[in-house]
């Protein structure tokens, strides 16, 4: 029995959904509303002390941290294998998942907050904001979110986030020029780990970073990724049209400024 504490828009939860799909597993969804702070409810914090999604409960065992969860799933449900066959490729796979966990994830949060999430909070009074953040266990996350709400695209976190993504897309382009997938010739957890973050860039209308021949190998990888049922069914098709439109509209409004900061127009 598998229960996933999930939110459609969560990049970290999307990795877990894609992995469960690849493994042919059925699961139950417990939706966690991120905008009204459900992750900070006392009961949820008992499962996931960091106050984030995803959390997976497997036969009563509570699993947190998306990368650790997808590695767990690959061991518990070995078919089809999602770790490459050789130590060198597994090392490469882990460099991608490490980069996502240590850099791209935070960059996604900063960018998403500054481009669209802030609009869910921008009209709150200081007292309402204090009440919202008072339950957030991670005070660094609170500081970053407050910065995005206050300053939007002028928040100091935006420039470094863009540079992180420019490097990520470059790295992906270099790797995709050499091999079919990010860790080697077979699809792996590396591809699953990266896909939701590229999807976020695309949803925020930032695809000019790689289209029009700018990063052709990465663009080829992205088309192959989008053709996989695990991605289409568990990520792309799950977004309600209204959410997709909201993100795209906010992204298009932000793009002239972001494109200029990235040197892409």
Ligand X SMILES: N[C@@H](CCC(=O)N[C@@H](CS)C(=O)NCC(=O)O)C(=O)O
203 near ligand X (CB under 6 A): no
Of 32 and 176, CB closest to ligand X? 32
48 torsion bin: left (phi>0), alpha (psi -120 to 50), beta (else): beta
The number of residues in the chain equals 265
For the chain, report the end-to-end CA distance as a whole number of angstroms. 48
DSSP string, 8-21: TT-HHHHHHHHHHH
97 near ligand X (CB under 6 A): no
3-class SS of residue 197: helix
Of 200 and 215, CB closest to ligand X? 200
Of 63 and 183, CB closest to ligand X? 63
State the minimum distance, in angstroms, from the CB of residue 13 to ligand X. Answer: 6
3-class SS of residue 207: helix
39 near ligand X (CB under 6 A): yes
- Tokens linked to 128: 């309402």
Of 37 and 216, CB closest to ligand X? 37
State the minimum distance, in angstroms, from the CB of residue 12 to ligand X. Answer: 4
- Tokens linked to 157: 């976190």
Of 137 and 259, CB closest to ligand X? 137
Give the range of 7-15, 17-25, 215-223, 251-259 binding ligand X by CB under 6 A.
Answer: 7-15
Residue with tokens 């481009």: 115
34 near ligand X (CB under 6 A): yes
State the minimum distance, in angstroms, from the CB of residue 50 to ligand X. Answer: 7
Q: Give the list of residues 6+ apart from residue 101 with CB closer than 8 angstroms, or none.
A: 67
Contact residue for ligand X among 2, 4, 20, 52 (CB under 6 A): 52
Residue with tokens 């932000």: 254
147 near ligand X (CB under 6 A): no
Give the range of 8-16, 19-27, 84-92, 233-241 binding ligand X by CB under 6 A.
Answer: 8-16
3-class SS of residue 168: helix
236 near ligand X (CB under 6 A): no
Question: Could you tell me the CA-to-CA distances from 147 to 114, 151, 155, 161 in Å, in that order?
Answer: 8, 6, 6, 14
4 near ligand X (CB under 6 A): no
**Which residues within the stretch 63-92 sit at the binding site for ligand X (CB under 6 A)?**
65-67
Q: Give the list of residues 6+ apart from residue 44 with CB closer than 8 angstroms, or none.
A: 5, 32, 38, 51, 55
State the minimum distance, in angstroms, from the CB of residue 40 to ligand X. Answer: 7
3-class SS of residue 56: strand
Contact residue for ligand X among 2, 10, 144, 176 (CB under 6 A): 10
Using CB under 6 A, list all residues that contact ligand X: 10-12, 34, 39, 52-54, 65-67, 101, 105
């Amino acid at each position: 029995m598998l229960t996933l504490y999930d939110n459609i828009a969560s990049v970290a939860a999307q990795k877990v959904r894609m992995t469960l799909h690849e493994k042919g597993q059925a699961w139950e969804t417990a939706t966690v509303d991120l905008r009204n702070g459900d992750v900070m409810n006392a009961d949820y914090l008992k499962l996931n002390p960091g106050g984030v999604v995803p959390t997976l409960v497997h036969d009563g065992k509570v699993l947190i941290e998306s990368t650790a969860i997808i590695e767990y799933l690959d061991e518990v449900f070995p078919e089809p294998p999602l770790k490459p066959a050789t130590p060198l490729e597994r090392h490469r796979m882990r460099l991608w998942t490490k980069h996502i966990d240590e850099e791209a994830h935070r960059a996604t949060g900063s960018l998403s907050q500054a481009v669209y999430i802030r609009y869910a909070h921008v009209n709150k009074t200081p007292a309402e904001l204090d009440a919202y953040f008072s339950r957030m266990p991670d005070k660094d996350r609170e500081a970053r979110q407050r910065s995005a709400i206050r300053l939007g695209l002028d928040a100091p976190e935006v420039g470094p986030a863009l540079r992180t993504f420019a490097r990520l897309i470059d790295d992906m382009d270099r790797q995709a020029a050499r091999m079919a997938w990010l860790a080697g010739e077979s699809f792996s957890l590396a591809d699953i780990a990266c896909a939701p973050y590229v999807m976020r860039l695309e949803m925020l209308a930032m695809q000019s970073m790689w289209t029009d021949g700018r990063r052709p190998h990465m663009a080829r990888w992205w088309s192959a990724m989008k053709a996989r049922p695990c991605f289409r069914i568990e990520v792309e098709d799950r977004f309600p049209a209204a959410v997709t439109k909201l993100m795209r509209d906010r992204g298009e409004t932000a793009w002239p400024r972001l494109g200029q900061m990235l040197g892409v127009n």
